[in-house]
Amino acid sequence: GQQLNQSPQSMFIQEGEDVSMNCTSSSIFNTWLWYKQDPGEGPVLLIALYKAGELTSNGRLTAQFGITRKDSFLNISASIPSDVGIYFCAGLIMEYGNKLVFGAGTILRVKS
């Protein structure tokens, strides 16, 4: 089946730092989505990307849909403590219906 490889698995951030994570796949996706999940909660959509090459921002978050349609990245600029959590990429292949394929997640923690 389709798989998304998300990296890094985890990272520590210091307030004010920029953060970058990405997802790659051997499959071509029609839509890329980035979600954030806080402990004990469901995923919340951050950014949706629908076209190859698309670059979209949502406040301090920027995401891009790769030209090959096989990858996407998410950048967080000037991180703040409430950015900690788990970030998931998810992809959709229209030929396979409306089910999302999720990456394994990137855990963001605060450096102490």
Partner 1 sequence: NAGVMQNPRHLVRRRGQEARLRCSPVKGHSHVYWYRQLPEEGLKFMVYLQKENIIDESGMPKERFSAEFPKEGPSILRIQQVVRGDSAAYFCASSPWGGSSYYGYTFGSGTRLTVV
- Decide if residue 52 touches partner 1 (CB under 8 A): no
Asked whether position 54 contacts partner 1 by CB under 8 A, the answer is no
Which CB, 100 or 110, lies closer to partner 1? 100
Provide the 8-state DSSP code for 10.
E
Secondary structure (DSSP) of 63-75 = EEE-TTSSEEEEE
Residue (57 or 80) nearer to partner 1, CB? 57
> Tokens 């190859």 belong to which residue?
52
Q: How far is the CB of 47 from partner 1 (least distance, A)?
A: 10
Binding-site member from 28, 44, 55, 67 for partner 1 (CB under 8 A): 44
CA dihedral defined by 50, 55, 80, 101, rounded to 10 degrees? 30
| Contact predicate 102/88, CB 8 Å | yes
Name the site residues for partner 1 (rule: CB under 8 A).
Answer: 4, 6, 30-31, 33, 35, 40-45, 48, 50, 88, 90, 92, 94, 97-105
